[in-house]
Amino acid sequence: MSKIPADLKYTRSHEWLKTMPDGIIEIGISDHAQEALGDLVFVELPEVGRSLAAGEACAVVESVKAASDIYAPVAATVVAINVQLAEAPELINQDPYGRGWILRLKPTAQGADSGLLSAHDYQVLAAEG
């Protein structure tokens, strides 16, 4: 059974989001997603400073099996990327909610996260496959 921490928000496209005290959003992919993708081999990250529209593809995680886009959940600016993933994409497999974080975004506007799922709702989604 994959881990779904209760204190995070989730998307239908299997990203997790953690809102930090300063309003920055950290994003990665869920344990369920990394299990489904299998061994990750490449991660393509955006430039820091890039502006993203809500729903825009902003990173790619690629496993032996498949490539998968990461989407910006809200309109935002990229403020940090996990540069360690370039050399060690397997961090996403090993620690998807910790050392496997992918990028940090600064939202352009407040309170635009209404489409996000709670851990409970995401669990239902993940169980459906």
Partner 1 sequence: MVDFGGWDMPVAFGSQIEEHHAVRNAAGVFDVSHMCVVDLIGGRTRELLSRLLANDIARLKVPGSALYSCMLNEQGGVIDDLIAYYLADDHFRLVVNASTRDKDLAWIGAHATQLDLRLLERRDLAMLAVQGPLARQRTATLLSSEAASAVMSLLPFHGAQIGDWFVARTGYTGEDGFEIMLPAGDAAKLWQGLNAAGVRSCGLGARDTLRLEAGMNLYGNDMDEHTNPLESGLAWTVAFAPTQRDFIGRAALELIRARGSEHKRVGLVLQERAVLRSHQRVIVSGGGEGEVTSGTYSPTLSRSIGLARVPISTGASVQVEVRGRMLPALTVRPPFVRHGRPLIQL
User: Can you give the binding site for partner 1, defined by CB under 8 A?
Assistant: 38-39, 41-42, 44, 60, 62, 64-65, 67, 90, 93
**Which pair of structure tokens corresponds to residue 3?**
């881990």
Token digits of residue 12: 């239908």
From the CB of 110, what's the least distance to partner 1, in Å? 34
C-beta of 44 vs 113, nearer to partner 1:
44
- The nearer residue to partner 1, 65 or 120, going by C-beta atoms, is 65
- Cβ distance to partner 1 smaller for residue 61 or 78: 61
Separation between Cα atoms, residue 61 and residue 17, nearest integer Å? 16
User: Closest Cα partner for 72 from 64, 63, 81, 83?
Assistant: 81
Minimum CB separation of residue 32 from partner 1 in Å reads 15
Closest distance of CB 38 from partner 1, Å: 5
Structure-token match 């993933």, residue found? 85
Distance of alpha carbon 113 from the chain centroid: 14
